[in-house]
Amino acid sequence: MRHIDVFSREYRNVPNFYGGVEAWPGLLFKQHETGCLFMDNLKQLPYHDLFWRNGANEAFRRWNAQVRPIPVPVDLAEPIPYEGHGWPRLEQKPEEFGWWIRLLLSNNVRSLLTIGAMCGGAEWHIARAFREQGRDIQITAIDLGGRQELEGTLYDAQTRFEQSIRLVVGSSSSTETRRLLAENYEAVFIDADHSYFASREDFLLAKSLAPRLIGFHDIVDSDWHASERCCVSRLWAELVQEHQTEQQASGEWGGIGVVRL
């Protein structure tokens, strides 16, 4: 229901009986204003088992078989190699991630915390970019762990580019995990649990570490992201109103937003 259509009517007029909540939409809106998702104009009560045995079960089976899942964006399912590197996997868009690395370099960031390392691609490429510039960076990565690829990628970055990289296995919301972190990081990059409350908690954690830059991935939602309950865009819309921000977004999904503290 559209809020403007609900609250411009007698929305407080809820029938005072046990099924009032269920009757309320039908009293508030006319049939021509509505759309039905499944089995319109019922002749029997769907609370009764007989309703389902008399055809509703079969109708639901046919309806469910026609529901098509929303496809993952092509360049997320098969990420475009970053600067010609097909490995390790990097789920940020090349032009957006390049912008983030340039921001880290131009702000002379020397310590970085990443929340949600996934395959370790972001950490690997940042370590490489800093080494190519003849600069050191200390990277701490928080991840739930369990992916052998992650540990291998971080080890490769540490040895190949001679950078300090440390993996903290655990949830970013865990008190024990927070005890393993330094008191301060110059920058934080958040790309973990994309739900609203989890990403906001990650932001509050990042803010408590007094960084100069806090980066977010996935500030733009595709239909697939929305279907997966990605709500970083909602948090980002709030942060834009509250802080000095900048962003780089280049398509239907992804985007990197930066909060300057």
| Distance separating alpha carbons of residues 57 and 63, to the nearest angstrom | 10
pLDDT tens for 43-68 read 888 989 999 999 999 999 999 999 88
Q: pTM for this one?
A: 0.81
Report cis status (omega within 30 of 0) of the bond before 88: yes
Whether residue 42 has pLDDT greater than 90: no
Looking at residue 230, what is its pLDDT?
A: 95
Largest CA distance in the chain: 75
Looking at residue 99, what is its pLDDT?
A: 98
pLDDT tens for 121-147 read 999 999 999 999 999 999 999 999 878
pLDDT tens for 11-29 read 999 999 999 998 999 999 9
Q: What are 167's strand-pairing partners?
A: 141
The DSSP 8-state label assigned to residue 217 in this structure reads E
**What are the DSSP calls for 159-196, one per residue?**
HHHT-EEEEEES-TT-HHHHHTS-S--SEEEE-S--SH
pLDDT-based confidence at residue 251 (cuts at 50, 70, 90): confident
CA 261 to chain centre: 22
**Radius of gyration of the CA atoms of the chain, in A:** 24
pLDDT tens for 176-209 read 999 999 999 999 999 999 999 999 999 999 999 9
Average pLDDT of the chain to the nearest whole number: 95
Give the pair of three-digit tokens for residue 22: 């269920």
pLDDT tens for 149-169 read 999 999 999 999 999 999 999
Superfamily of domain 88-260: Vaccinia Virus protein VP39 (3.40.50.150)
Looking at residue 121, what is its pLDDT?
A: 97
Looking at residue 81, what is its pLDDT?
A: 96
Whether residue 250 has pLDDT greater than 90: no
Looking at residue 41, what is its pLDDT?
A: 86
Looking at residue 222, what is its pLDDT?
A: 94
> Which residue in the block uniquely carries the two structure tokens 């508030």?
28
Per-domain residue ranges of the chain:
3-66, 88-260
Looking at residue 145, what is its pLDDT?
A: 81
Q: What are 246's strand-pairing partners?
A: 258
